[in-house]
Structure 1
Amino acid sequence: MKKSAQRPNQIPTKSFTGERESKARRIYEELKNYITSPEREIGDRLLSNRKLAAMLNVSTFPISQALQRLENEGYVELRNGSGTYIASRHRSLTMADVVSLCMHSKDHLWSNLLTMFMEALAEHGKIGSLVGIDPKKGSGQGEVIRRIGYSESKIMVVQGSGHFPYSVFDLPGMKQKTTIAVFSWVSESTWPGLYRVLHDVEAGGDMVAKHLWAQGHRKVMLVGTDTQIAQIESDRPDQGYPACHFRHKWESMGGEWTKLASHSTNILHHHELDEKAFLKQLKAKAGPTAIFGLRDYEAWLAQNILLHRKPAQAANLEVVGYGNTEWSKAGNASFSSIDFNFETIVNKAISIIDQVSEGRTPANDPILIKPKLVIRNHSKK
């Protein structure tokens, strides 16, 4: 323990008048008050148990009991052969410890990413403050970022898909903030204070194409939403669409492809596949021998139609999804899928936050996180 006039070793005792207040409780409270006082710092070494006992006029046994409880609660760390140290959990938190999370919170896939960020921030002594994205209520990405821009938060994580709205940096105070754009943002520009940890969409599209080609497939049906199908037809891989990169890689290898869009069926925006159109493509001469669901959801829809309507054909058709969602894992999906590798995305973003918090300046180049192809069940043509 460091000795100074501002940080004395003497533990200020508290008066306990109730007869029922046990000695152990009194010692625990006095040590806790001492450890959490403003004069104490993270990493301070406490006096030995013997000296603490002498100061409180008790034996070493209740001191050991109290310190064990304080360690279980995260206040101190007991190091064998070294002593007892004040842990980092209970330092005072400031706005510098608050990280604003501009993220989707309702979608099952993105809520998983949000949860991982919350847990990782807590482990690093930070507080994640959600400012959820909900375009249906007028709180889209740009609007939410602007709201954070006027806040006192110094760091924000923005999860998106599209072009980063650089106009937000014109807001007062934004240049003093650190922004980490995660998952999917299209931009070749750099901006001081903006860091990007992105899903490598090109690698994802290439992985699917190479895998299907290696399995002997030469014609594949691409199944996705209207928007995703339009992305494929736009032929703009520079816009950050995995399906576009798949198309380019697939065509460069000599592969053919057909398409089928899922459609919304109700106000809840649940999507379904046109079963007749789906089966018609499969019946066609030289039809597709594999199906690429541009989301896991479409892969599930295709798989279910095959299992219920064409179980014999299902054994000879390979289905690949994109996302490897939690419900795909829990539901024991029989199709392969591209895993976004969220864990690595979160770890890289947290590393940037730690560096900024320590006063260091991280490299500003975009970090591309390669996804993983999870192979579950496939046939070889």
Structure 2
Amino acid sequence: MASPVYIQIHNQIKAEIEEGKWAVGAKIPAERELSLHFDVSRMTLRQAIQTLVDEGILERRVGSGTYVSNQKVQEKMSGVTSFTDLMKAAGKVASSKTISYHMTMPSQSEIDQLKLEKDQKVLRMERIRYGSGVPICYEIATIPAELINGLTKEEITSSLYSSLENKAKLFPGKAMQSVSAMAASEKIAEHLEVKRGDALLRVRQLSYLQDGRPFEYVHTQYVGDRFEFVLER
């Protein structure tokens, strides 16, 4: 199965950044120019760029353009807590709305992070997560397909961690997270019931099983005034 066109473009732009075609902080060409260069529609090109923005590789600056992201300080956190458990601890009922759910070929970033072979499929799902009916975050999660064989869509979307533990006998271990600030896009603002430009916390998390295998790569955008991170040192 060939990767979607926007993923192929994502991979090429990412590779060119890594090769030094555009330095950290450099402005990349406009979408119109890039769409002509790759011979694709503006919509397809925009999807590739947005994926790179979600991953923190690129960043949009209102009224200015799109730039290669500056490197940010990363905060390492140990331990993995499911969203369901987080909401339970806060006295809220967790629920989710699945926007997309499909098996596909991984992007180069997903291959790198999840230590995959290029021909290994992944499940990529896009969800809105709620606490007692209030939207808390928007997330895109990628999971190696081989780890969830035997699990139903309902088991995966309702509580992945519990299903892995109880049915697949796979136990989450540590997680690595990077946290940064961003403004809500029009699409995300609509999903999270906030205004375009409102403050969001962007979290990229790579979670590992106790045996050391990476099992979930997630990009999450949290509503700034509905969620906070507390670090213990």
TM-score by length of 2: 0.30
Structure (1/2) with the larger helix percentage = 1
Larger Rg: 1
Structure (1/2) with the larger strand percentage = 2
TM-score by length of 1: 0.19
